[in-house]
Amino acid sequence: MQKNYQQKTLGILGGGQLGRMVIQSAINYNIDIHILDPDSNAPCKTICQKFVQGSLTDFDTVYAFGRECDVITIEIENVNTDALAKLAKEGKEVYPQPHLIKLIQDKRSQKSFYEERGIPTAEFILTENKEDVHLQVDFLPAVNKLGREGYDGRGVQILKSKEELHKAFDAPGLLEKLIDFEKEISVIVARNKQGEVITYPSVECSFHPTANLVEFLFAPAEISPELEQKAQEIAKKVILELDLIGILAVEMFVTKEGEILVNEIAPRPHNSGHHTIEANFTSQFEQHLRAVLDMPLGNTDLRCPAAMVNLLGEDGYSGEAFVEGLDEAIRQKGVYIHLYGKKLTKPFRKMGHVTLLDENVEQLKQRAKEIKEIIKIKA
């Protein structure tokens, strides 16, 4: 007899904050969650049914973990896809599909995929090493990206002129034409096995000036209805062209000429969807569960304009984390605190986030900046 989703064990590769928030949604459905993570103090450890400490990139470890689960998913891309492919071949449900995780792991194959499938993206050149980059001086200014293992602002740098070429990455990567963009937006899109596809309203991302991480997020994005429709259509096209099951964050640039270009994608819950826990009828975390367990997808309408503030470890502090300003913050209406259970802080480490709800969009922006100054994570 086939198991229904409540009887299935869901294994998640990665035990960080994204997995933690997936578990918080899964609790409402009595879903049994197993976690694999190399960190003995991973944020998921204390709230999952079973925690396995081990490498996410080791074939045998991932394979052994997956054999104990009915469905396997990820909360981080840097995993052993060969083990996942073997598990899928043996009948385990693995979503997103292993070959798609492998494609997305490398920004080079990501960009080539966009080009092949007619998905709008910035002009780019693939490079093998530093010497290759040096040959492309006429392509500058450009963004130099490592092909693999760049995340949270790492493995990405701007090369403006010939004088900066010495900084180029000496590994397979790419050069992407530097876009003079108006805004950075993100659309989260979900798809289940039945072929249902649903998108979330686009959000606007504001980045930290030095850490290259999202500092503030505002929903909905302040763009025209025409651009909003275009962004939604592009996100749907990407997930359909991939034939991906699960959730996908599609990061995009809105150019000053009114074009929308895909920057990068992530096949998992994403920082640009954290606000959905309070701000939308279905959170991205519940939606990911629904998609990979082949449940009906949930309504994604925005209940109320929202802002999200990433709580990053303060510069200059490393050690056991201490959160300042919580009492002052939670006295305010429409403030929702999410701490990720990380014991140790270091500069710019993602330690939590705050979601704010307010019908007044201008007031919302001001309040987000104030919350950023009130809550500080130090050691």
Which pLDDT does position 154 carry in this prediction? 77
Average pLDDT, the chain: 95
Nearest to 95 by CA among 235, 192, 234, 238: 192
**Where along the chain do the CATH 3.30.470.20 domains lie?**
181-378
pLDDT reading at 7 higher than 90: no
Q: What mean pLDDT comes out for the span 159-170? A: 93
Q: What is 5-94's CATH topology? A: Rossmann fold (3.40.50)
**Residue 336 near residue 24, CB atoms below 8 Å:** no
Nearest to 136 by CA among 123, 149, 148, 120: 123
pLDDT reading at 1 higher than 80: no
The answer to the question of whether 286 is labelled as a binding residue is: no
The pLDDT tens digits of the residues spanning 166-190 come to 999 999 999 999 998 999 999 999 9
The answer to the question of whether 370 is labelled as a binding residue is: no
The answer to the question of whether 145 is labelled as a binding residue is: yes
Query: How does DSSP assign 174-185, residue by residue?
Result: EEEEPP-EEEEE
Q: What is the largest CA-CA distance in the chain?
A: 66
The answer to the question of whether 259 is labelled as a binding residue is: no
The answer to the question of whether 263 is labelled as a binding residue is: yes
Query: What is the edge-to-edge ordering of all strands in the sheet holding 124-127?
Result: 124-127, 173-177, 142-146, 156-159
Nearest to 246 by CA among 297, 282, 204, 202: 297
The pLDDT tens digits of the residues spanning 350-375 come to 999 999 999 999 999 999 999 999 99
Nearest to 263 by CA among 174, 373, 329, 163: 174
Which pLDDT does position 159 carry in this prediction? 95
pLDDT band at 152 (very low <50, low <70, confident <90, very high): low
User: Between helices 284-292 and 17-26, what is the axis angle to 10°?
Assistant: 70
Which pLDDT does position 267 carry in this prediction? 98
Q: What is 123-177's CATH topology? A: Dna Ligase; domain 1 (3.30.1490)
**Where along the chain do the CATH 3.40.50.20 domains lie?**
5-94
The answer to the question of whether 115 is labelled as a binding residue is: no
Token representation of residue 353:
């986030």
Which pLDDT does position 153 carry in this prediction? 65
**Residue 34 near residue 10, CB atoms below 8 Å:** yes
The residue assigned the tokens 């999952």 is 48
pLDDT band at 23 (very low <50, low <70, confident <90, very high): very high
Which pLDDT does position 191 carry in this prediction? 98
**Residue 341 near residue 39, CB atoms below 8 Å:** no
Lowest mean pLDDT among 38-42, 177-181, 283-287, 369-373: 177-181
**In this prediction, what percent of the chain has a pLDDT beyond 70?**
97
Q: What is 181-378's CATH topology? A: D-amino Acid Aminotransferase; Chain A, domain 1 (3.30.470)
Query: How does DSSP assign 52-84, residue by residue?
Result: EE--SS-HHHHHHHHHT-SEEEESSS-S-HHHH
Which pLDDT does position 45 carry in this prediction? 97
Which pLDDT does position 103 carry in this prediction? 98
pLDDT reading at 293 higher than 80: yes
Q: What mean pLDDT comes out for the span 237-244? A: 98
The pLDDT tens digits of the residues spanning 50-82 come to 999 999 999 999 999 999 999 999 999 999 999
pLDDT band at 2 (very low <50, low <70, confident <90, very high): low
pLDDT band at 214 (very low <50, low <70, confident <90, very high): confident
pLDDT reading at 209 higher than 80: no
The answer to the question of whether 176 is labelled as a binding residue is: yes
The pLDDT tens digits of the residues spanning 321-341 come to 999 999 999 999 999 999 999
DSSP assignment letter at 113: H
The answer to the question of whether 128 is labelled as a binding residue is: no
**Where along the chain do the CATH 3.30.1490.20 domains lie?**
123-177
The answer to the question of whether 247 is labelled as a binding residue is: no
